[in-house]
Structure 1
Amino acid sequence: GPVASEPGRALAPPPALADWRARVRQDPQHFLRLCAHLDCTPDIWALHDWSAWLTPFTQRRGRRFETTFFLCCLCEPPPVFPDLVEVVDCQWSSPSEATESFISKEIWLAPPQFYEIRRLEHFASLSDLHKFCLDRELEGVERWLPITLLTADGTIQLLPGDEMYLEDSNYLENLMSTEKKNEEIMKEGKKFHRIVMYNRHDYNIHVTVQSKYKHVYPKNYVVSKSRL
């Protein structure tokens, strides 16, 4: 496809957006009619595969998802019109701003979102990020299923490559547990790829393994206890 060498720009929203949105929700075929009406083609080539996560097992009959993250680089924030059903609000933040908002409990991030926000901290500029996406375009992404380890004072989500991660179908529907505390477990190991969670707003990321598929992993991130 026609991949742009520079970040793109968003089109202005179509007139009667709410009407078109309602029609598309009712029948996806209306999306093609919308494109024909506007004489445009969705720029799917601007979407870059970034990561894929499966919801880890936490409890029987709990809702689980397969979530794929795509990345799109734009020169300026596009206008956003929440549908007030699935999306109720929108906020543009840098990775560091999002991290601060999370720690200060202004927003909440699920572990995969926090991990991805920290991963984006590697890039000093939007153009650096865009170039990185183009350079690894053909590599694809690895789909991850975190394994949940319940500890005496929190939870650890183990990711592929971690020394405690087990490629075992048993953990598709089961938890690991220990009577040890997070800190004890951290002192015992060396090969880490994990998110250590003490509560809903205190996540630490520990990575000592090499990334795959020309991707980057987040740098180690530990929240100072004085911040909490």
Structure 2
Amino acid sequence: MPDVHKDDKEVQSIRWATPDEYILQNASMLPTPQFYEISRIRNFSDIQTLSKYAIDRSTYGCATYFPYKVVTKDGTYYLFPGDEIYPTFVDTKDFNVPIIDNIPSCQVENRLVLSDNGSRKLIVKNLTSKDKHLPPVNYSV
């Protein structure tokens, strides 16, 4: 088990769990970026494989993943780079959230849906990363 050190300012406790266990126990509290990243870690069955992947992939650099928020009558969507309808330019200083009737189904999807009932659904379809990052594993809670 890796050695960890608790930060007394932000970390209240430390506990090891699988990504699935962590998501199930904390789904309602997880901010969007953490939910997305933990869903990516679900690609690995053990920490050794994850560590090897991280070392090998690190030579490709890192892309910025800025979620683009859209509100619909069905819930809130966070679109991520690679999604067909992700904007070509996102003004990170503009906090106006578009409100539309619905989000179309696309050939390439990379999105998180937060329904009004509190459920979360991560949808990744036909996504290929340019920097060798693995996409998240589809997930619903």
- TM-score normalized by the length of structure 2: 0.84
State the Cα deviation string for residues 50-79 of structure 1 (Å, max 9, x = none). Answer: xxxxxxxxxxxxxxxxxxxxxxxxxx1435
CA distance 1:123–1:178, shift in 2 (3 Å): same
- Shift in Å at residue 171 of structure 1? 6.4
2:91 corresponds to 1:91: no
Distance in 2 of aligned mates of 1:170 and 1:200: 29
Aligned to 1:216, which of 113, 127, 134? 134
Distance in 2 of aligned mates of 1:128 and 1:79: 19
Distance in 1 of aligned mates of 2:130 and 2:117: 29
Q: Show the 5 A alignment for 1:41-56.
A: none
CA distance 1:131–1:109, shift in 2 (3 Å): same
The answer to whether the Cα contact below 8 Å between 2:71 and 2:99 also exists between their aligned partners in 1 is yes
Aligned to 1:132, which of 42, 53, 60? 53
The answer to whether the Cα contact below 8 Å between 1:102 and 1:201 also exists between their aligned partners in 2 is no
CA distance 1:81–1:137, shift in 2 (3 Å): closer
Amino acid in structure 2 at the alignment position of 1:218? P
- Shift in Å at residue 210 of structure 1? 1.1
- Shift in Å at residue 87 of structure 1? 2.6
Pick which of 147-156 and 160-169 moved more: 160-169
1:202 aligned partner: 119
State the Cα deviation string for residues 159-202 of structure 1 (Å, max 9, x = none). Answer: 1111111122456403221133xxxx35x323201111115852
Amino acid in structure 2 at the alignment position of 1:164? I
Distance in 2 of aligned mates of 1:144 and 1:219: 16
- Shift in Å at residue 130 of structure 1? 1.3
2:109 aligned partner: 192
Aligned to 1:178, which of 81, 97, 100? 100
Q: Show the 5 A alignment for 1:92-111.
A: 92-103=16-27, 108-111=29-32
- Shift in Å at residue 205 of structure 1? 0.9
CA radius of gyration, larger in: 1
Aligned residues: 139
Pick which of 91-100 and 108-117 moved more: 91-100
Q: Which has the bigger relative contact order, CA under 8 A and spacing at least 6?
A: 2
Distance in 1 of aligned mates of 2:90 and 2:19: 34
1:146 aligned partner: 67
CA distance 1:170–1:179, shift in 2 (3 Å): same
1:39 aligned partner: none
Distance in 2 of aligned mates of 1:115 and 1:169: 19
The answer to whether the Cα contact below 8 Å between 1:147 and 1:171 also exists between their aligned partners in 2 is no
- Structure 2's unaligned 5+ residue stretches are none
The answer to whether the Cα contact below 8 Å between 1:151 and 1:177 also exists between their aligned partners in 2 is yes
- TM-score normalized by the length of structure 1: 0.55
Q: Percent identity?
A: 32
